[in-house]
Homo-oligomer: A and B are copies of this chain.
Amino acid sequence: MTFSLTILGNSSAIPTSTRYTSAHVLNVHERFFLIDCGEGTQMQLRRHKIKLGKINHIFISHLHGDHTFGLFGLLSSYGILNRKADLHIYASPDLERIINDNVLAFNIFLPYKLAFHALDCSISERIYEDENLWVETIPMKHRIATCGFLFKEKPKLKNIRKEAIEKYRIPVKEIIRIKEGADFKTSAGQIISNMELTLDPPKPRSFAYCADTCYHKGIITKINNVDLLYHEATYTHDLADRAKETYHSTSYEAALLASEAKVGKLVLGHFSPRYKNLDILLNEARKVFKNTFIGEEGLTFSIE
């Protein structure tokens, strides 16, 4: 079952000739979640062979243009392509009015329902849930209200051992109870412990998206032990003052947080256009947290 993050844009503030602004797709069991939507996101989706129609949920961290300017084009294209499925947008409440205004202004055709979910980025709350996954917000520290997002798989039921079914002649109606953790009583009255009957399910996987934000220790309890952390790394640490002033993070700070939160893997993004070569950001982070990677556009990070 897939659990992977694809990077569509990694530039902060403005695009460069080779890099787009923020946009990311999380694929959980072939459900696709778009996280932020910078200008050109719809082109990047096409370029990286992610079907536009597969996206039903869009999470917007905050209302700066480098995270949102691709939204009107995407909504408009969905209309022209005659989308019928509901489209859910999770964002600061202001965005609903802005979208409505632009839909009117540019005469955007919406043959589908646009379901808006207003977020309060000052708290952490569960904003999405399906049979496989839930999503909770993480309050970021930025110049304006900003939400990070924690995506976490739900625990799966245990796997029952096939040979145990035969050995103890377990009837079908008992199987779900055993998968849930119950012991089994044979027709002879013998109690077979659940441990003997089942294998543990795979550990639920988790991903945290943290952007835009300054270094913020307060979120560690929230992102503790996630398998994959995306954290913004706008600057190298020699520009720590600039990072602080603009409520952004340095690559060193992102790595420090990853280390403190004991995450599995760190992916950096949201790079200042001043960095032509991103190795300097990678090297800075790896000194603190070895399992760090640059969120190169087009790359997919999978959690097995």
Which residues of A approach B to under 8 Å, CB–CB? 13-17, 20, 39-40, 42-43, 46-47, 63-66, 68-70, 72-73, 76-77, 80-81, 94, 97-98, 101-102, 105-108, 144
CA distance A13 to B73 in the complex (A): 10
Residues in B with CB closer than 8 Å to A15 are 42-43, 46, 73, 77
Contact check, A39 vs B70: say whether CB atoms are below 8 A apart: yes
Residues in B with CB closer than 8 Å to A39 are 39-40, 42-43, 70, 73
Contact check, A72 vs B73: say whether CB atoms are below 8 A apart: no
- List the number of copies, as a whole number: 2
Contact check, B102 vs A17: say whether CB atoms are below 8 A apart: no
A73 to chain B, nearest CB (A): 4
Taking A68-B106, A101-B105, A107-B144 as given, write out 16 further A-B residue pairs in contact, using a Cβ cutoff of 8 Å, ordered by the A residue number.
Answer: A14-B42, A15-B42, A15-B73, A15-B77, A17-B46, A39-B39, A39-B70, A39-B73, A40-B43, A63-B105, A63-B107, A69-B69, A69-B73, A94-B105, A97-B105, A101-B101
20 A-B pairs with C-beta separation under 8 A: A13-B77, A13-B80, A14-B76, A14-B80, A14-B81, A15-B73, A17-B43, A17-B46, A17-B47, A40-B40, A65-B76, A65-B106, A69-B73, A69-B76, A69-B106, A97-B105, A98-B101, A101-B101, A101-B105, A102-B102
Closest partner residue, chain B, to A72 (CB atom): B69
A197 to chain B, nearest CB (A): 50
Contact check, A65 vs B69: say whether CB atoms are below 8 A apart: no
Residues in B with CB closer than 8 Å to A40 are 39-40, 43
CA distance A64 to B81 in the complex (A): 16
A15 to chain B, nearest CB (A): 5
Query: Counting chain B CB atoms within 10 Å of each CB, which of A42, A63, A101, A106 scores highest?
Result: A106
Residues in B with CB closer than 8 Å to A105 are 63, 94, 97-98, 101
CA distance A76 to B94 in the complex (A): 19
Residues in B with CB closer than 8 Å to A76 are 14, 65-66, 69
